[in-house]
Structure 1
Amino acid sequence: MKLPRIGIVKTYEILPSVPVKNVTISKGGDNWYISFKYDECQPKPPTKKRAVIGVDVGINALATCSDGTKFANVKAYKQAKKQLTRYQRRLNKKEPASKNRAKAVKKLAKAHKKADATPRRLTAQGNAHQAVADIRAEALHKVTTWLAKNHSTIVIEDLKVSGMLKNHKLASAIADCGFYEFKRQLSYKCEWYGNELVIADRFYPSSQLCSHCGQKHKMPLYKRIYECGNCGFEADRDFNAAVNLENYVDK
């Protein structure tokens, strides 16, 4: 890749031989990244394995599908939280504008990059303006690509993430799941593969309805098994919600 004033730089991955529209260079931690746009012929949409699928996103499982498929939540930030706290304390003890502080900033930026958490204090200092979503983005891309490639219609809930984050007990876990990014990726991938993305009404009680008989029951968060008092149907609450979302298109 030939850059203005810098010259030729080698990239980690092989770049396609196509005319480039524009190039963006960014830095995450102490690594540099090049992203670029180019025109590509749209590939023929793959054959769909299932017409309609409902997807319930959550904290325990990132995505539970109405066909029984489950995708685990990687919880990238939670796994690296202790290491991040340790690096942040070391940074706070360093003298301002010192070489040791600069080294500590790099170490913290690397840890944030791996944990897919935006380093807010570093952002304010201008040392790491953007953390690259490595772990979380990879998990989200796998789920959303699988959904878009194999299903004609995908039904998800219209989650109000900003309102959910007001719950201080669950805010960290919710932020670690990347619900907004899940919806964003699914939106543009459905356009790529010629699918329909259906967003169920925010007040649709997918977790409270029995997917077998349609009876409505209250479901507090601590209850993980849905038990219908009307027909005796029992199922995992997330799977029951996913089936209700699949049935949403018929309503």
Structure 2
Amino acid sequence: MRMKDRHAPELRESAFHVNQVWNFSNELSFKVWERERRFISSNEIDGYTKGATKEGLPLHSQTVQAVSQELVARRIQHKKVKLRWRVSKGSRRSLGWIPFKASALRYRNGQVFLSGFDKPLSLWESYDLSKYELGSGNISEDARGRWYLNVTVKLKKTPKASLGAVEKSVGIDLNLKEFAALSDGYVVELEKNYRKLESELAKAQRARKKARVKAIHAKIRNRRKDQLHKLSTALVEEYGAIFIGNVNASALAKTRMAKSVLDAGWSTFRTMLQYKSDDAGVWFDEVDEAFSTQTCSCCNTRTGPKGLDGLRIREWACSHCGAWHHRDINAATNILAAGRRRLAVGIPVL
């Protein structure tokens, strides 16, 4: 939820001090590793930062503790001894970020009261937060200097389908020709949001119009998120079980197809599907899609197009059983079959 722009100066000031706490905790953690070959916990870090707020650090003690907890969580997630340094000024300045705990936040009449701030922070309210029980979260800055409140809320789950009673299921094959093909024969077209604005973006970059460049990037990002949100919501509402191929987007992003892969937003789409499925009680799983395009979904023989030359073949006939296949729909059907086998007996797929 976006915050009023008038709060930007005080938020930047708080973000500056958050960066100092992060950098201190990051360096402390690294030195303990060098000296003792062990990872320091957030509670141990809090012991070193205890009393800093009383000595003049203009942050609430809960914010300081939230920073150390986040650092430890990200260190474990990325499996790194030392995380990236947060820069407060210059061309490589880190975007503003202020974490908080659930007990540090209160909401009333379109404003949030956050521990450490003397005045309430006003919101451009798109949701009525009074309906929810607010949890932990953070205040973050985007590339255009706009600030947003990101907070978790507790919702009552209404399970849609149980594990043993899945009414309708679907397999999804992600690709770059179209965005996705579904096992029931539906093909989702790729919007190509970046490609549509690529020439306009290039003009702004050549003219060195930084504000315009950031605005175009934001438009591309928002259009992509809008498409992915609508599609993922529609799938979760229609199906009781969703199986999707585990295409390695990060590896493909290092090839000549990088722009197209990043424009498609496969990883973001899978993340949306997963958390929306969890919330709606829909079964979601990623399955191994190896050989899914080469395997005939009717007789399970690998008679489909192979190699780089085979990528151009969009439709093919099985030489064993004669079945005619759309390349991507056939792959989605195989992914669905693999997901059902995995759901039933828990064995490796394909």
TM over 0.5, shorter chain:
yes
Deviation at 1:207, TM superposition (A): 0.3
> Which among 134, 156, 180 is matched to residue 63 of structure 1?
180
Deviation at 1:185, TM superposition (A): 1.6
Contact persistence 1:30–1:110 (CA under 8 A): no
Report the equivalent of 1:11: 124
% of aligned pairs identical? 23
Report the equivalent of 2:149: 34
Distance (Å, rounded) in 1 between the aligned partners of 2:273 and 2:196: 26
The answer to which structure has the higher helix fraction is 2
Report the equivalent of 1:20: 134
Distance (Å, rounded) in 1 between the aligned partners of 2:124 and 2:142: 14
Map 1:151-170 onto structure 2 (within 5 A).
151-168=239-256, 170=257
Distance 1:31-1:59 versus aligned 2 partners, 3 A rule: same
1:150 pairs with 2:238: yes
Deviation at 1:8, TM superposition (A): 5.2
Contact persistence 1:29–1:109 (CA under 8 A): yes
Contact persistence 1:49–1:150 (CA under 8 A): no
Report the equivalent of 1:101: none
1:236 pairs with 2:323: no
One-letter code aligned to 1:40: L
One-letter code aligned to 1:20: L
> For 1:18-41, what per-residue CA distance to the aligned partner results, in whole angstroms no more than 9, with x for missing partners?
453345242342544333222222
Distance (Å, rounded) in 1 between the aligned partners of 2:133 and 2:239: 33
> For 1:156-181, what per-residue CA distance to the aligned partner results, in whole angstroms no more than 9, with x for missing partners?
1111223223331x221111111111
Contact persistence 2:243–2:286 (CA under 8 A): yes
Report the equivalent of 1:85: 202
Unaligned runs of 5+ in 1: 92-103, 117-133
> Which among 202, 206, 227 is matched to residue 292 of structure 2?
206
Deviation at 1:66, TM superposition (A): 0.7
Question: Is the partner of 1:238 in helix, strand or coil?
Answer: helix
Distance (Å, rounded) in 2 between the aligned partners of 1:201 and 1:25: 36
Report the equivalent of 1:94: none
Report the equivalent of 2:311: 221
1:112 pairs with 2:226: no
Question: Is the partner of 1:197 in helix, strand or coil?
Answer: strand
Distance (Å, rounded) in 2 between the aligned partners of 1:50 and 1:135: 32
Distance (Å, rounded) in 2 between the aligned partners of 1:50 and 1:232: 31
* Structural RMSD (CA): 2.5
Deviation at 1:135, TM superposition (A): 1.1
Contact persistence 2:161–2:282 (CA under 8 A): no
> For 1:192-223, what per-residue CA distance to the aligned partner results, in whole angstroms no more than 9, with x for missing partners?
12222232225x31100111222212421111
One-letter code aligned to 2:240: S
Unaligned runs of 5+ in 2: 1-110, 342-348
Distance (Å, rounded) in 1 between the aligned partners of 2:246 and 2:141: 32
Question: Is the partner of 1:36 in helix, strand or coil?
Answer: strand
> Which among 332, 336, 339 is matched to residue 246 of structure 1?
336
One-letter code aligned to 1:172: K
Bigger Cα Rg = 2
Aligned length: 220
The structure, 1 or 2, with the larger RCO (C-alpha pairs under 8 Å, 6+ apart) is 1
Distance 1:90-1:49 versus aligned 2 partners, 3 A rule: farther
Distance (Å, rounded) in 2 between the aligned partners of 1:80 and 1:12: 30
Report the equivalent of 1:140: 228
Deviation at 1:190, TM superposition (A): 2.0
Question: Is the partner of 1:139 in helix, strand or coil?
Answer: helix
1:194 pairs with 2:194: no
Deviation at 1:84, TM superposition (A): 0.9
Deviation at 1:46, TM superposition (A): 7.5
One-letter code aligned to 1:181: T
Distance (Å, rounded) in 2 between the aligned partners of 1:44 and 1:157: 24
Question: Is the partner of 1:56 in helix, strand or coil?
Answer: strand
Compute the TM-score of the two structures, normalised by the length of structure 2.
Answer: 0.57
Deviation at 1:241, TM superposition (A): 0.8
